[in-house]
Structure 1
Amino acid sequence: MTSSGLRCKAVAREPPAQALRRILESPGVFQGPACFNALSAKLVERAGFQFCFTSGFSISAAQLGLPDVGLISYGEMLDQGYQITQAVSIPVIGDGDNGYGNEMNIKRTVKGFIHAGFAGILLEDQVSPKACGHTRGRKVVSREEAVMRIKAAIDAREESGSDIVIIARTDSRQAISFKEALWRSRAFADAGADGLFIDALTSREEMKAFCEITPLLPKMANMLEGGGKTPILSPIELEEIGFKLVCYPLSLIGVSIRAMEDALIAIKGGRLPPPGQLPSFEELKDTLGFNDYYKEEQRYTVSSAQTSSQRTYISGSSTPYTQPTGTEESTEKPYEPVVEVLPPSASNSYSSNNPRGRLSGIWSRTLRIKITGRDGLERLDIRIPAGFLEGISSIIPGVGGKNIMEMLEDAAVDVTDGTETGKVLLDFKDTLGDRIQVFLE
């Protein structure tokens, strides 16, 4: 029997690798369309499939607009994979290509796929740069290196404390021979792979012979749509031969390309795509989860009765005040402004036995900081030693477009001239409309 149309919610709640292993241990054959982004993965899950693959071919096409010939990087595949695994609850098998380097790179790739949320990873024995399956020019590494890649992947899994499913793929059927592909598959099984895949099998006989080696280990079939080297068989036929997983790598990206081409032709001709090809806006919103979002959003809605006015606290005071909104009258009693007066002894101590060059006069002065609310009430009125600006200027030459050193130099001149009326250093309104003034006294 086939299991593609069934969806077990209990499996979906399990950790990804555990859910995939449960599928592999279940009777029947399981179909997994290959996705290429979060939306296509959501559609796979929505259709009722229990798992899906990521396709390097499709992701290269969708993300880069380029062929699957090793141009897409590990980081790009990992980023897209993370978006996919976060969008669905079904387990996802990631296309790890050839691991993006040597055995140390393979370990990093496996650990990255684990952290990205993949349930399984498919690793192949091609050289770099790799070639696309069912195409010309494929070459594979030596037997020894191919087996060592699988061992490195298993070590990475153990070091991560993960249970990610490792599926070993060989491209040696096309690169060397069918006999070589069988030898490598047995060696991968002995090394500890959880599943096996020979790409580009050319007949039912080869498919059957492949499934007969290590019969208890799950085998994967690749139904390359549109004219690959492997015969296209029904799920029932594949189950009878002995396959457990079936991948459909091009269906989603292929129909997407054709649908976009048809839509563009229609638009260019002054028409819209016909209703049968174009979902309604309501259908699109439902597919993308707008309705679910709105329902969940209601859980966090705050009523007007729960909304409190914005309150702030003046530094040095525990008295709060409500910022006026401009549309309502304040019912709060105006509070007294906070005033701090610096005694002469404190300001004089800054210059006593502590010469500070041509700016020394400023240490005998004070800065008055005054904030007046837009309602005309004083919010703040304090005085602090003016000399602290000299220290700040050595760390931060300019603040808010004002050069502190220039301000100090101007202030020092005024002090030398004996000006006692004070000097306005800053006078502006903030974003809330309060007026902020700084005086040198």
Structure 2
Amino acid sequence: MNLQLQMQTQVNTRNHNVAVSSPFHLRSKPHSPISSLAFRSSTVQQPLLPLLHKSNASAFPSKQPIPILQVVSSNSVAVDHAAESSPAKALRRILMSPGIQQLPACFDALSAKLVERAGFQCCLTGGFAISGARLGLPDTGLISYGEMFDQGRQITEAVSIPAIGDADNGYGNAMNVKRTVNGFIKAGFAGIVLEDQVSPKACGHTRGRKVVSREEAVMRIRAAIDAREESGSDIVIVARTDSRQAVSFEEALWRTRAFAEAGADVIFVDALTSKQEMKAFCETAPLVPKLANMLEGGGKTPILDPLELEDVGYKLVVYPLSLIGVSIQAMQDALYAIRNGHVPSPGSMPSFEEIKEILGFNNYYEEEKRYAISTSQQPSHGVSSGACGAQQRSRDDAEQKHRVPTYPADVVEPNSPDVDGNYGSRVHYSGIMSRTLRIVITGRDGVEKLVAKIPVENYGGVGNLIPALGGVNMKALVDEAGDEVGVKLLVDFTDILGDRIQVFLE
């Protein structure tokens, strides 16, 4: 069979007053000394990016394809199909599309799945959030390359949208950066964020930020570009500088221009302090997309809505704390509720069916049916994972879907020990002991969460039914009421969750 090697390349160059590489270039220019990068003040005016939402055309140059080596035979079989559908190419298509793109920062496989289910086109792994979720520790350089690689691999395997990985400062010198880039490619990332901080690093909006020299910062980006080329990958390089807070705004502008010249695909200055600084940054290297960081809850950068950011000139915007922040709050609320004898209300969490759907149980069961085996081939002992198991699960799921949630009945008679250690009798006495206690729990919204009645004779079990009443001497209150007729309010207080708890003698 005759084989013909074909090399397909396309080259498109443009001249600009600043030598800035296209964000979609695939081979970097020969390394130039740092001294050749002329400094320009932020006051120099450069053309603004076109507003993508006002035009169907992209503001960024068309992506040049990687030189593709094809082996063409009589049946015309190409060997680059996998590359054409890579996560990096999907991310580059997003960068070329009109409009700004929002990137919620995920921290594990589940949060990434939720980002995808919400309709976002891509996501970013936040080092701050991953350090907190995986280690329970601050984002101060404590998390390692291996831990970020492992967490990233789990995230990229859980979703079909492209994910950008936060690689901090590359975990060392230029050689470490190359290893990190290669690792993130193998982990399935579409892009990688590299910053110019020293080791150990610090969160960009906290104290203790220090950056390496200009030369070392640029060499990190060049090393990342080299690693990409040597691997044959198309991973997107996002170059970040923390020099705005560590040195000055002018230094941050110089470094991002140098990163663009070195071949970065996206540039990013963290912790800018005003909209004016953001505009000046976006006028730097006009052909290279810019990333904004909207640190929720009180960072140094003003929070702008997506259209405002697009008008300023940004292409990507990251929300680093939204998911980890609301997760912390929701878990704290649930734990307070459980500690006080409640479970989270139905409106505060998904139903069991919804949780199963999010985690993929239904898809698993459907796919499992494809591999079911005949019951006649089952062993005589043990549990099969084939047809019988799948059929039983289908029946169980059907029962679960039609099962009506049960709540406490109007009358509850727990057989629990009373305050004297004796188990309550089921025999009803005459007089006050033949009456009932009505327990009412009302939420902060005024909706009754629970209305329950128990015989007075079983007052000792009230604390087991409602733990918040565990410290109430119900026996003394009942004795004090005596044989008074009518309804008498015995207990009325608000617990730490804001629920009003009342006990009536009826």
Letter in 2 for 1:280: S
In structure 1, distance between residues paired with 2:381 and 2:343: 48
Give the C-alpha shift of residue 325 in structure 1: 7.6
The separation in 2 between residues aligned to 1:261 and 1:183, in whole angstroms, is 44
SS of aligned partner of 1:40: helix
Per the alignment, residue 25 of structure 1 pairs with 96
Deviation at 1:14, TM superposition (A): 2.9
The AA in structure 2 aligned to 1:247 is V
> Which protein, 1 or 2, shows the higher relative CO under an 8 Å CA cutoff with sep ≥ 6?
2
Alpha-carbon spacing, 1:308–1:293, altered in 2? closer, same or farther (3 Å):
closer
Q: Partners of 1:325 and 1:295 in 2: how far apart? A: 25
Question: What amino acid is aligned across from residue 163 of structure 1 in structure 2?
Answer: D
CA RMSD of aligned residues (A): 1.5
Residue type of the alignment partner of 1:180: E
* In 2: Cα distance, 1:279 partner to 1:302 partner: 34
CA distance in 2, matches of 1:266, 1:59: 26
1:55 aligns with 2:135: no
Q: Does 1:219 align with 2:298?
A: no
Return the alpha-carbon distance in structure 2 between the equivalents of residues 208 and 275 of structure 1: 45
Match of residue 161 from structure 1: 232
2:346 is paired with a residue whose SS is coil
1:198 counterpart = 2:266: no
Gaps of 5+ in 1: 3-12, 310-323, 327-441
Question: Where do residues 109-188 of structure 1 align in structure 2 (5 Å cutoff)?
Answer: 109-188=180-259
Measure, in 2, the Cα distance between the counterparts of 1:227 and 1:325. Answer: 62
Deviations 1:53-96 (A, max 9, x none): 00010000001000000000000010000000000000000001
2:145 to 62, 74, 79: 74
Q: Deviations over 1:388-437 (max 9, x none)?
A: xxxxxxxxxxxxxxxxxxxxxxxxxxxxxxxxxxxxxxxxxxxxxxxxxx
Q: Cα deviations across residues 203-251 of structure 1 (Å, max 9, x unaligned)?
A: 1110011111111111000000000010100001001111000100000
Structure 1 counterpart of 2:281, from 203, 206, 210? 210
Alignment-derived partner of residue 172 in structure 2: 101
SS of match in other structure, 1:240: helix
Structure 1 Cα separation of the partners of residues 285 and 97 of structure 2: 17
Matching residue of 1:274:
345
Alignment of 1:343-422 (within 5 A): none
> 2:162 and 2:225 mapped to 1: Cα distance?
19
Q: For 1:207, what is the secondary structure of its paired residue?
A: helix
Pairing partner for 1:249 from 320, 329, 343:
320
SS at match of 1:113: helix
What is the TM-score with the length of structure 1 in the denominator? 0.67
Output the CA distance in 1 between the equivalents of 2:244 and 2:356. Answer: 46
TM superposition shift of 1:98? 0.1
Q: Percent identity?
A: 75
Partners of 2:102 and 2:259 in 1: CA distance: 23
- Give the structure 2 partner of residue 343 of structure 1: none
Aligned mates of 2:150, 2:264 — CA distance in 1: 25
Question: What pairs with 1:83-98 in structure 2 (closer than 5 Å)?
Answer: 83-98=154-169
Letter aligned with residue 27 of structure 1:
P
Whole-Å Cα distance in 2 between the matches of residues 300 and 325 of structure 1? 20
The counterpart of 2:359, out of the listed 288, 293, 297, is 288
The aligned counterpart of 1:263 is 334
The 2-side partners of 1:84 and 1:239 are apart by: 28
Aligned partner of residue 240 in structure 2, secondary structure? strand
Separation in structure 1 between the aligned mates of residue 345 and residue 297 of structure 2, nearest angstrom: 25
- Cα distance in 2 for partners of 1:133, 1:308 equals 59
* CA apart distance, 1:304: 2.8
1:358 corresponds to: none
Match of 1:40 among 94, 108, 111: 111
* Secondary structure of the structure 2 residue equivalent to 1:168: strand
Tell me the secondary structure at the aligned position of residue 299 of structure 1. Answer: helix
Q: Distance in 2 between matches of 1:277 and 1:14?
A: 39
Task: Indicate the SS of the match to 2:347.
Answer: coil
With over 3 angstroms needed to count, the CA separation of the structure-2 counterparts of 1:308 and 1:259, relative to structure 1, is: closer
The one-letter amino acid of 1:136's match is R
Please list the CA deviations of residues 358-389 of structure 1 after superposition, one character each: whole Å capped at 9, or x if unmatched: xxxxxxxxxxxxxxxxxxxxxxxxxxxxxxxx
In the alignment, which residue of structure 2 is the partner of 1:374? none
Partner residue in 1 for 2:394: none
Quote the Cα distance in structure 1 between the aligned partners of 2:206 and 2:214. Answer: 21
Q: Which residue of 2 aligns with 1:299?
A: 370
Equivalent-residue separation in structure 2 for 1:15 and 1:117 (angstroms):
9
Once the 2 structures are TM-superposed, how far is the Cα of residue 168 of structure 1 from its aligned partner? 0.3
Alpha-carbon separation, structure 2, partners of 1:325 and 1:77: 44
After the TM superposition, list the runs of 4 or more consecutive aligned residues in structure 1 that deviate by more than 4 angstroms. none
Q: Which residue of 1 aligns with 2:480?
A: none
Task: Quote how far apart the aligned CAs of 1:133 are.
Answer: 1.2
Letter in 2 for 1:119: A
Local SS of the residue matching 2:143: coil
- After TM superposition, the score normalised by the length of structure 2 is 0.58
Instruction: State yes or no: 1:64 paired with 2:121.
Output: no
SS in 2 for 1:225: coil
Q: Which runs of 5+ in 2 are unaligned?
A: 1-51, 54-83, 383-506
Could you tell me how far apart the structure 2 residues matched to 1:75 and 1:278 are? Answer: 33
- Name the amino acid aligned to 1:145: E
